[in-house]
Structure 1
Amino acid sequence: MAGGGQVEAPAIGREGAGDGDSVSQVISRLVEDEGSALQAFYDARSHRPAWHDGESVAAFAAALHTLDTDGLIPQDYQADGLVAAHREAYAEGGSDGGNAGGNAGGNAEGNEREARFDLHVSRVLLTALTHLQRGKVDPRAIDGDWDIPIEAAELDPTAISRAVDAQRFEQAFAEARPAYAPYERLRAGLARYRTLERLGGWESLPARQRALRPGDIDDDVVLLRERLAIMGEVELMAATIEAFPGGVIEGPDPRHYDAKLEAAVRRFQRRHLLEGDGIVGQQTLAALNVPVEDRIDQIRLNMERARWLLHGLPESFVLVDIAGYRLSYFRPNGEIWRSRIVVGRPYRRTPSLRSEITHMTVNPTWTIPPTILREDVLPAVRRDLGYLWRERIQVLSPSGAPLDPWEIDWSRPGNVVLRQSPGPHNALGELVIRFPNEHMVYLHDTPSQGLFAREQRAASSGCIRVENIAEFTQLLFDDTDSGHDVRSQIERGETRNVRLAERVPVILHYWTVHPSEDGQLAFRPDIYERDDALLRALDRPLAL
């Protein structure tokens, strides 16, 4: 049944309900048709019932309600119906609820009912643990570009069995959830925003014809000040006469857009990847006015994304934060090297994937991919054939033989290959960092360095442009003992592949909430419009 509401006791099957079967024997028979996780759980218990004790069921039901701290919905796991279902399962003629093994010669129908109930509750427990560890939603169902392997949950059936017997359910949940600091920061942020929701959230700032600017004196500045103070900028709150009856208070005018408020607005803008100019225009106003309920949902769905990813991470790896426009290299020595990046446009999305960096291409040529050729380059060539010379693009046959551009009908060019010569002008710059993947994306340099100065940088055709890529490449060479100097490799002027002595894991992932180390949550624009589909899937009731 779907999550929530009254839980019906599992139906009693006619087959195999022998008069002499104990509850343990019925469990042993029924579990053969279940999944491997449930079989392993009962194997660890020698098929003893786990849920004969009503107190244990009640404790488990109470623990299920704590799943809301992970952004999951307790009703999905039937938290409000398990106790009643236990009473029904043990209501008529079954074995004594205190007898773990059941009565070998007892009521066969009752034993069957109890065994089916036991399997059902264990299935709920394992489902909850799996969702905490790996996520509730299958990312492949909502993201056609998803290319990160989905690994089965790693659950210890013996440890889970012991936790059930000791009624340590919240401990079992804690051991299942991702043991990484970003996940815990998201949990803390979710709790904080839910507190804000209980306190009434925040008042929206009214629409304005002109932006609020530093130096302005306006009633809306008071609302702006209060809004940012709610988010932690407590020094912005100005005392009011009403708070101190009979007192005379001198202080700054709360309607004045002063330097402290400007600094707080700039911090807010930077966290939300807005232009950090201190001016409250339409984009900043829209970000300020997102309701607390929507921010809670945004945190919840990014906790789900964290559960997809935050397990089995190596000590050293490269993480590409697509929606945050940032690359982080977690080095073997514990340091973290970070850089700004440019990612794919909304209609040419950078995919989510997991791979390993194998080599670099120095002074690369660029064979123009079919989509860019069709949509960008051919229209430019048709307007002006001189585009090929200005961009130093060769026209080749599929076998690599040079072709004369003047002899080609560019309205129907056929199966030609366009390749840009190496050099600083090349669209890939001077370096490409390669890793195997079906999407043909990679990390690379760019001659368009000015793009890195923008706050929002979805401007590529799917590959990732990396600021200071030569420094990054040298770190990869050094950390893998590859023995190469990146600058001397470039200065040789040759197009050549240079391999790493060891592969370096790389993960491309999409986050629209980033938990910083100081506990602040940075909310990013959903550039690929993926949040709504994930939220719908996350809130879809389960059938257990």
Structure 2
Amino acid sequence: MRGPAAVLLFSFLVCLEWSVSPLVFSASLGNQIEVELRQLLETVPSSGRLPLGRDQVRLHPALREFYPARGFAPAWVSDQGTLPLVDVLLDALRDASSEGLCPEDYHLDVINSLLGLAADSPRNNLLFDPYWMARLDLLLTDGFLWYASDHLQGRQAFVEHRQQSRRENGADPAKLLDHALRRQRLQAALSDLVPSHAGYRRLMQELDRYRRIAVMGGWPSVPSGVIRPNERDGRVRLLKARLQITEKVAVFSGDEPDLLDAPTVRALRSFQKRHGLAVDGVLGPRTLVELNVAVEERIRQIELNLERWRWLPKTREKRYLQVNIADFSLKVVENDQVVMSMPVIVGNEYRKTPVFSGQMTYLEFAPYWYVPPTILREDKLPIIKRNPGWLKKNHYEIVPWSGAREAIDPERIDWKKVKAGNFPGVLRQKPGPWNPLGQVKFMFPNRFSIYLHDTSERHLFQRRVRLFSSGCIRIERPLDLAQYLLESQGWSCREVFDAVERDAPLRVSLNRPMPVQILYWTAWVDPDGTMNFRRDFYLRDLDMEVALEAWREGN
């Protein structure tokens, strides 16, 4: 039920069924509404869709517990009409668009139509019919419940996408509303739903800015072709016009409009940095692609990442480690200040790193690498069957499934009969410079078996796009992170260096577990106000777009 046509049709149907009784005070109006609400909820089909005119409204599941718990008493209307709390709720629903949400999802058009007719009733000496008063009350409640759910758990359209994070949030929308109404703190309850983190608020501000850019017509498209610093080209005028709209450092003189001069190169480098590109001041193919992304697409990108923010816990730890998969970066944050940052390598397009949160509880120096089943089946087993001597040459050993310490002699195995399903033990690689886990791994137990670790392929950190792992996260400076985590436990740099040189694993528990957030942000704002965008390497933005479109078509 969306769009002007639906609203007009609904208003017309309401007018047809409107009561025309004289305006007299009726002490039983509240009781009549209670009866209507009870009958209404009892007749709602199992699909949870309420017929209204020729359309249907999908109701929040919590409605069935909210009204019975209060004896079906209306929450928003009384004998005298609507309560002042209605305006408080409507202000929040109207402002939902500032967070990238759709006010229409909360029945705002239908509610406004009913409220308009309610306001006309006294002027025409008519009393608002309990039949429609009950439906108005129910729609207001339903609007609150969906609005609260969208903030507390994320929108229903993205239920599959947010499952990975498994965010625990004990707030129940129905109980939250009941508490807010009883304590007369609806305004506070609505405000508390909006994430208070500065990063979320900054992204909201940028959403507003990009929407204003769209209203003004967006930005010009720059034709293809490479332009280097100090070269003259007619397209530089368009480039300057484009950069002037989004780059804060874009201050150009009008002396040589066709010259890619120093101020233009400075603005172009600013754009490249904000988009995770090679910062070289050259207008190349990759830079052109990002320059010519439409403002509407950037707006949608910001909206999707505001949604991802709402999947996070309302309260954030003062100290945490955060990985942004799309940015290939790790940050350690203390009291909203970044105290350490470094590049990371994440899962490739076939073995994507998942989004989730955890608690880092221990480190393991000089770790064994236990070969995952998929890699064993697809990569290692064919090599071993061709040449069992490859195991010893590459520092691998097979240990019994029973956990016995003594390794199995590969020469005693009939490799012709071995398959991935009957492999004789656990395949692992010994600690050392050859080990893909490097010198240390950082463990935060989770259902994905994902962790941070060093790597033997350090040259890969020189790449700008770092999609090379099988899901786990390789970090550039593991010893720095280890020293940071263990310093409060009395570890010196010398002790860290000694630990990584061991020929057997050493597990060290953290006295103070470190919260870990593995995120996928393709749009965010730095504390200094810099708006950043990244390519959707995993196509998760696209997946969310498709899911939202499918959800709207079905609802």
Scaled by the length of structure 2, the TM-score of the pair is: 0.80
Compute the displacement of 1:259 (Å): 2.6
Alignment pair present for 1:122 and 2:122: no
Task: Output the amino acid matched with 2:221.
Answer: S
Q: Report the counterpart of residue 71 of structure 1 in structure 2.
A: 100
Give SS of 1:309's match: coil
- Which of the numbers 359, 367, 370 marks the counterpart of 2:373? 370
Which shows bigger deviation, 60-69 or 216-225? 60-69
- Which of the numbers 140, 149, 172 marks the counterpart of 2:167? 149
8 A Cα contact 1:90 1:97, kept in partner: no
Give SS of 1:402's match: coil
Give SS of 2:207's match: helix
- Which of the numbers 15, 28, 31 marks the counterpart of 1:22? 31
How far apart in 1 are the matches of 2:142 and 2:386? 64
Q: Report the counterpart of residue 451 of structure 1 in structure 2.
A: 460
8 A Cα contact 1:2 1:541, kept in partner: no
Q: Which has the higher contact order (CA 8 A, sep 6+)?
A: 1
Tell me the matched-pair count.
Answer: 506
How far apart in 2 are the matches of 1:518 and 1:44? 48
Task: Output the amino acid matched with 1:120.
Answer: L
Alignment pair present for 1:340 and 2:366: no
| Residues 224-246 of structure 1: per-residue CA shift (max 9 Å, x gap) | 2221111124544333xxxxxxx
How far apart in 2 are the matches of 1:512 and 1:333? 20
Q: Report the counterpart of residue 273 of structure 2 in structure 1.
A: 270
- Which of the numbers 449, 455, 465 marks the counterpart of 1:440? 449
8 A Cα contact 2:158 2:547, kept in partner: no
How far apart in 1 are the matches of 2:67 and 2:337? 38
8 A Cα contact 1:134 1:153, kept in partner: no
8 A Cα contact 1:62 1:79, kept in partner: no
Question: Structure 1's 333 and 501: CA in aligned 2 closer, same or farther, altered over 3 A?
Answer: farther
8 A Cα contact 1:186 1:515, kept in partner: yes
How far apart in 2 are the matches of 1:219 and 1:411? 70
Question: What is the 5 A alignment of 1:164-179?
Answer: 173-179=190-196
Task: Output the amino acid matched with 1:141.
Answer: E
Which shows bigger deviation, 275-284 or 436-445? 275-284
Which shows bigger deviation, 111-120 or 374-383? 374-383
Give the root-mean-square deviation of aligned CA atoms: 3.7
Task: Output the amino acid matched with 2:241.
Answer: E
Alignment pair present for 1:316 and 2:325: no
8 A Cα contact 1:318 1:505, kept in partner: yes
8 A Cα contact 1:320 1:509, kept in partner: yes
Alignment pair present for 1:489 and 2:508: no
Question: Structure 1's 466 and 218: CA in aligned 2 closer, same or farther, altered over 3 A?
Answer: same
Compute the displacement of 1:97 (Å): 9.4
Give SS of 1:262's match: helix
Compute the displacement of 1:26 (Å): 3.5
How far apart in 1 are the matches of 2:101 and 2:41? 30
Q: Report the counterpart of residue 420 of structure 1 in structure 2.
A: 429
How far apart in 1 are the matches of 2:211 and 2:371? 49
How far apart in 1 are the matches of 2:349 and 2:126? 58
Q: Structure 1: which 5+ runs fail to align? A: 13-18, 99-106, 240-250
Question: What is the 5 A alignment of 1:441-480?
Answer: 441-479=450-488
Which shows bigger deviation, 312-321 or 22-31? 22-31
8 A Cα contact 2:362 2:444, kept in partner: yes
How far apart in 1 are the matches of 2:138 and 2:553? 17
How far apart in 1 are the matches of 2:384 and 2:330? 34
Alignment pair present for 1:283 and 2:301: no
Which shows bigger deviation, 345-354 or 147-156? 147-156
Task: Output the amino acid matched with 1:82.
Answer: I
Question: Structure 1's 471 and 139: CA in aligned 2 closer, same or farther, altered over 3 A?
Answer: farther
| Residues 451-503 of structure 1: per-residue CA shift (max 9 Å, x gap) | 22222211111000112111112222234x47674333224443121111232
How far apart in 1 are the matches of 2:261 and 2:298? 28
Higher helix fraction: Structure 1 or Structure 2? 2
- Which of the numbers 403, 409, 433 marks the counterpart of 1:403? 409
How far apart in 1 are the matches of 2:112 and 2:350? 50
- Which of the numbers 199, 204, 226 marks the counterpart of 1:187? 204
Compute the displacement of 1:308 (Å): 0.6
Scaled by the length of structure 1, the TM-score of the pair is: 0.81
Give SS of 1:80's match: helix
Question: Structure 1's 461 and 405: CA in aligned 2 closer, same or farther, altered over 3 A?
Answer: farther
Give SS of 2:327's match: coil
Q: Report the counterpart of residue 47 of structure 2 in structure 1.
A: none
Compute the displacement of 1:535 (Å): 2.2
Task: Output the amino acid matched with 2:292.
Answer: N
Give SS of 1:318's match: strand
Give SS of 2:108's match: coil
8 A Cα contact 1:89 1:113, kept in partner: no
